[in-house]
Amino acid sequence: MKLKTLILFILFSTLWNFVIAQAPQGFKYQAVVRSINGSVLANTSISLKASIHTDNASNPADYTETHTLVTNSLGLISVSIGAGASNDNFSSIDWSVGSKWLSIEIDTAGGNNFVLMGSSQLMSVPYALFAQNSSNGSSQWISNGQDIYYNNGSVAIGTQNADQSAAMDISSNTKGLLPPRLSQEEINQIAYPAEGLLVFNTTSQCINMFTAMGWYQVCGECILPQAPHILTASEQCTGDSILLQASTVPSVEYNWLSDNGFSATGQNVYYYSSVQDTVVFTVHTVNNCGSSPNDSIVMVFQDDPSTAIAGSSVSNIDSTSIFLNANTPIVGSGIWTIQSGEAGSFADAADPQTLFTGQAGEQYVLRWTISNSCGESFDEVIIEFAESIFVCGDMLIDARDMQAYPTLQLGNQCWFGKNLNIGEIINGASNQTDNGIIEKYCYNNISSSCDADGGLYQWDEMMNYATEDSVQGICPEGWHIPSDEEWIELEIHLGMDNATANLANTWRGTDEGAQLMEDGSTGFDAQFAGRRVDGGSYSVINSYDYQYTSTESGSNAWRRCLRTTSTNIGRWNTFPKTYGLSVRCVKNYD
């Protein structure tokens, strides 16, 4: 502790001694070290650390070095800053940037426990040090008397990268370049002006430039013309006379050129190409002051598209699909479209030999079109599929949405083997409306519920807003909504007697319901889809299967009920028509 106290009160003075005959590698530092009571510390081993900072002594050091010293009999130390032990490079200090500060730390025991003695600003940086920093390397500013010069590279002002063609590149959108301003008398006094010397003549208010012929004066206005813009489209057709058009630039001439030797003058000129080609056109404008930059365009000349050949028409096709046989385009691209016929589709409409799928008994007019920017060609083919003979038990494909339904023969009736599922899903909170769109509910408003168990429909929507028994409603063509009497006919076929079948608002029969359930004897495979009630909520899925009939009963409608806990069938007319229930379709009688 006594040693540290002594260090904190060391007094020191400095003597600066710079050698400027050549760029120095350091500078001298001298000080007298005294004890706390003011007596000289003579013949004493000490350690000294010197640091140089930029702008403030508290900033990180640019350079640090240490010295091991012995004071002389007068307590004097003398060191060369720049010659001590250091991991830094003294010559890398940039003396031209900011103010420089020197910090001195001392350990009077000669170790590394340095204590800061003080810091002071170097009030001036010797010219030799500045010059050393400025002249090292091959691309530095060099001073020579009152001149400085740069021996390599380019100067950039207002930008970080000078253009490679410029020795000096000045960039600004608020300021200009201000050349020397001299009167005519002062200009005449310039001895031996160099060619290209540029000044502003304050007497004539003109730019003066010295040439081999003497001083040349530029006065008045002379503005290079604006560059035009080519207005013609880049895609053209062979065999056409193309009008090459350029935007309007006042008081200029237009020069057109191309990479195939074409040239013309005028704002708008014609060009003719008889073959497919790719041509680069350029245009520029000219006035008395010079030429504008070029505008250019790459123009592609195409032939007319290939003639479309759709292939041969085919009729009475004993299937519902056929491979088409149109020609492959040589010029342009092709596309198939359906001109008439319902529910047809192409595997790949851009393939001339694509697979086309339609409906049995349907005739289609198909168009093969080949086109490009120069026009189009089309041809048509008629494809007719033979009428299929439906046998109950076949899979029925609903042409409206391509849904597939198994069918089953029950007595004299042909029934759907699963619930109808057609239409656009709407939220259960909304009523279905007569808007020309078949709408359906899906249990809990989840579309996958319809995929599994079919849609739920209000009675009016199911009937397609008709009221007659056995109406088609929303069933496919050739099928209808079963009436209450048709359900009774089915129940009697399953073994129920007539009197029991006509009982109302009760569960009837014995095992007729079980026959209609999954794993029953009929294949009906009832789906317990639940119901949608007024207000939009859903209930009893996986427990009840409610089937609407086309027979109304006042403000209600007759329905059939199956439940997982019973083997019989319910006949009820107690639900309002606004409930959403399931429906099966029955084939029309021949």
pLDDT in tens, 216-241: 667 766 677 888 999 988 888 888 88
Integer CA distances (angstroms), 72 to 108, 120, 279, in order: 14, 25, 91
If one counts the domains in the chain, the total is 4
Integer CA distances (angstroms), 447 to 424, 434, 478, 525, in order: 10, 22, 27, 21
pLDDT of residue 9: 38
d(CA 432, CA 521) in angstroms, rounded, equals 36
pLDDT of residue 511: 97
Residues 488 and 552 in one domain: yes
Looking at the domain assignment, is residue 419 inside a domain?
A: yes
d(CA 244, CA 230) in angstroms, rounded, equals 7
The domain boundary residue, chosen from 76, 99, 134? 134
d(CA 374, CA 332) in angstroms, rounded, equals 9
d(CA 66, CA 50) in angstroms, rounded, equals 6
Residues 125 and 265 in one domain: no
Q: How far apart are the first and last CA of the chain?
A: 121
Cβ-based neighbours of 430, under 8 Å, separated by 6 or more:
536
Looking at the domain assignment, is residue 95 inside a domain?
A: yes
Looking at the domain assignment, is residue 181 inside a domain?
A: no
Looking at the domain assignment, is residue 169 inside a domain?
A: no
The domain boundary residue, chosen from 85, 116, 134? 134
Residues 437 and 567 in one domain: yes
Of residues 251, 244, 250, the one with CA closest to residue 283: 244
* pLDDT tens-place string over residues 52-82: 999 999 999 999 999 999 999 888 898 999 8
Of residues 516, 471, 477, the one with CA closest to residue 493: 516
Looking at the domain assignment, is residue 298 inside a domain?
A: yes
β-strand partners of 385 = 317
pLDDT of residue 10: 40
Our CA angle for 450, 522, 533, nearest 5°, is: 35
pLDDT of residue 18: 43
Residues 403 and 499 in one domain: yes
The domain boundary residue, chosen from 134, 167, 184? 134
Count Cβ atoms within 10 A of the Cβ of residue 518 and give its class: 0-12 exposed, 13-18 middle, 19 or more buried.
exposed
What domain range is 78 assigned to?
2-134
pLDDT of residue 17: 43
Looking at the domain assignment, is residue 208 inside a domain?
A: no
pLDDT of residue 213: 56
What is the token pair recorded at 126? 């010797």
Q: With a cut of 50, list the residues of the chain below it in pLDDT.
A: 1-23, 127, 134-139
What is the token pair recorded at 317? 């096709």
Instruction: Say what the alpha-carbon torsion angle 406, 410, 415, 418 is, to the nearest 10 degrees.
Output: -50
d(CA 52, CA 57) in angstroms, rounded, equals 8
Residues 421 and 279 in one domain: no
